[in-house]
Amino acid sequence: MPKVLIADKLSPAAVAIFKERGVEADVKTGLTKEELIKIVGQYDGIAIRSATKLTADVLKAAKNLKVVGRAGIGVDNVDIPAATAAGVIVMNTPFGNSITTAEHAISLMLALARELPAANASTQAGKWEKNRFMGVEITGKVLGLIGAGNIGSIVADRAKGLKMRVIAYDPFLSQERANDLGIEKVELDDLLARADFITLHVPMTSETKNILSAEAIAKTKKGVRIINCARGGLIDEQALKAALDSGQVAGAALDVFETEPAKENVLFGNEKVVATPHLGASTSEAQENVALQVAEQISDYLLTGAITNALNMPSISASEAQKARPWISLAQKLGSFAGQLTGASLTGVEVIYEGTPSMLNTRALTQAALAGLLKPMLAEVNMVNAPVIAKERGVKVSETRRDAQGIYEGYIKIVVSMTDAKGETSTRRVAGTVFSDGRPRLIQIKDINLDAEFAPHMLYVVNEDKPGFIGKLGTMLGDAKVNIANFTLGRSAPGQDAIALIEVDGPVPGAVADAVAKLPMVKHAKPLAF
């Protein structure tokens, strides 16, 4: 009988589901890291919320662990690379608490607008400061959404019901989807300049960290009010304090903080700040929903091999897995390659399967490609919910299957359609195959043929094909102590565009990539990670 540890407080209904499905469940909450390490090796699965930290050390001790189920969206408390390396599937429940989180954001916005916490404290202290608390109406005000995904779109709907005007910044939001939501799609600087209220609904990634920096806050409308129920670290807290002190920001309502538990914070003690202890998903309905979902998902996997809402594996049956796994890996990496190089709004994705992969479960392959494509901007994306998220953003997804026609027994090509801020359209093409060794390889970029393996850290360079380029590039990387492990070149024709893919031993510093981009023959340079 499979054995599961429930390491954080979940609804009793979750325990009941495990028992009904024939899975043994132990409830042991509040364990220290050391206590968890001692017992984790006994379990096939772990169900957690946000309190338990599954670090690399814990996962190393989990010799029998097969699956981690997070009741909720965020998986900041799980070392996913370590879990993947250990062969542990990490699942979440991405949609179980969306309404609850959206409602909390609206509640904080209303409390902030009318200064309710301060007025409550004053009144209960025996004061009657009727003229002290002069709030603002929200009717007719502009609400700026940073992130218009699942939760952001619910916030937009509720705000429209309150007669607010809603604008949104989201690189993955199509104009069609914006029209369906009845909101205006804008660039970030435009949102900052126009919004009376700003609410954040994006994951924490390298690209969204401190998206409200000191520089960004300085661009906001004077007297703006800011709400964050997404993730700590999206706002520079020191910069926010300075803006509150100067009056640039009239108030802030925060449910999340850069360091949690936030028992101390530079923003605490300020009457302009409304703070709650990460309550976004804390309603009885949401807790019940995510608990039931995580118990069902863990049970399904342990008993049948079915994978649902996994962040590091696709949705695929056990019988298909062995044959499809290398092609799934290829599809994900091709998508990731295109996603890391995509700066404009996505409008469409076509995945072309020729030969061998056309005979597989292409739905799983396409899901893997979409997950890779969307992942650079949306950390919560997985291979199951990627199609839903793409649809929400108006991204049209299509598949084409055909028999083998060229020199390869099979390959996958991804064609990404994009529209920039000026309304100009463009496409990006990338193709790859799987050789007999089972390792995925790049075979074509921008219709330029080459042959390159994917590596954890790479530098992608588009340059003019002129003598001396390789020497200059190699010298620059060497001077920067960036060691080259492999170097692959391809070109469209002599003297025209060329592509260099450089495998390096570690992450390429941003300053080094910028310096490469400034070389006379270089058109584009971008560090990549796989």
Nearest to 133 by CA among 116, 110, 121: 116
On whether the CB atoms of residues 347 and 293 are closer than 8 A, the answer is no
Q: Which residues contact 73 (CB under 8 A, 6 or more apart)?
A: 92, 93, 94, 97, 281, 380
Looking up tokens 């496409």 gives 427
Contact yes or no for 252/223 (Cβ under 8 A):
no
Contact 274, 251 (CB under 8 A): yes
List CB contacts of 78: < 8 A, sequence separation 6 or more. Answer: 48, 54, 68, 70, 90
- The helix or strand, by DSSP H or E, that contains position 514, with its residue range, turns out to be helix 510-517
- Among residues 204, 202, 183, 205, the alpha carbon closest in space to that of 194 is found at 183
First to last CA, the chain: 36
- Note whether 181 and 175 are within 8 A (CB): no
Provide the 8-state DSSP code for 359: G
CB atoms within 10 A of CB 269: 8
431 SS3 class: strand
CA–CA gap between residue 310 and residue 93 (Å, rounded)? 9
Helix axis angle, 116-124 to 98-113, nearest 10°:
60
Q: Which residues are catalytic?
A: 231, 260, 278
Torsion of CA 412, 413, 414, 417, to 10 degrees: -160
Here the tokens at position 63 are 């010799």
Task: List phi, psi (to 5°) of 282.
Answer: -95, 75
**Residue 35 half-sphere exposure, CB side, CA atoms within 13 Å?**
8
- Reference 15, options 295, 300, 299, 301; nearest CA is 295
Q: Which residues pair with 346 in a beta bridge?
A: 418
Do 30 and 70 meet the contact criterion of CB atoms below 8 Å apart? no
**One-character DSSP codes across 361-402:** -HHHHHHHHHHHHHTTT-TT--TTTHHHHHHHTT-EEEEEEE
Local structure of 69: helix, strand or coil = strand
- What phi, psi does 112 have (nearest 5°)? -70, -40
